[in-house]
Amino acid sequence: MKKEIMAKRFELIVFDWDGTLMDSAGAIVTALQKACRDLEIEPPSDEMARHIIGLGLQDALREALPELPSQRYRELSERYRYHFLAHDHELALFEGAFELIGELGNAGFLLAVATGKTRTGLDRAMRSSGLQTSFHASRCADECHSKPHPQMLLELMEEFSVAPENTLMIGDTTHDLLMARNANVPALAVAYGAHPRSVLEAEKPLECAASVAEMSAWLTRNA
């Protein structure tokens, strides 16, 4: 990333985590499907399981398994966490993501995370990735309304006294893009995560990057 990024359009850049910074979408899909099979529940398709990534777990289960009685959410959540945690130590950031976050921080941007993970899950992922000290703030689904509700972004903007037009949301799902729209915040989509490019582009983000390298180049030119 070049130094010209210092001429900033945005002050606050907010990242989604799973599927945007960490290559975890496949692990989430597998864990959810295994949890369903453990409990003899018909698992969602790969497409549906990927669609609900980014939502808080309860909202995700409600959307992916609409006929499942709510009293079974707890046991399914427990089995999901069992399978996900069995392999989360194997997950890694997308190539170039660690360096990009460092460059953005050095360039003077305020950096934050807005995620469907729990606080415990995000803290664990940040530690394993080495990014635990790289963000100025974060919001999780067990602390705020789930995406696409704008609460996460609204709280982050209020915390740093940054206007919506000076804030950028970056994510790999329509949930991220709709949250940004609901908060009147510009959004950058990434097409290498959970949702396909076609559905992301239908939400009219500023750009839809095919890789972390493309995202970095766009930020250099436009942030």
Active site residues: 16, 18
For 89, phi then psi, to 5°, come to -70, -15
Tell me if residue 174 falls in helix, strand or coil.
helix
- CA distances 177 to 16, 72, 157, 186, Å, are 10, 30, 16, 8
- CA distances 26 to 53, 64, 92, Å, are 10, 16, 12
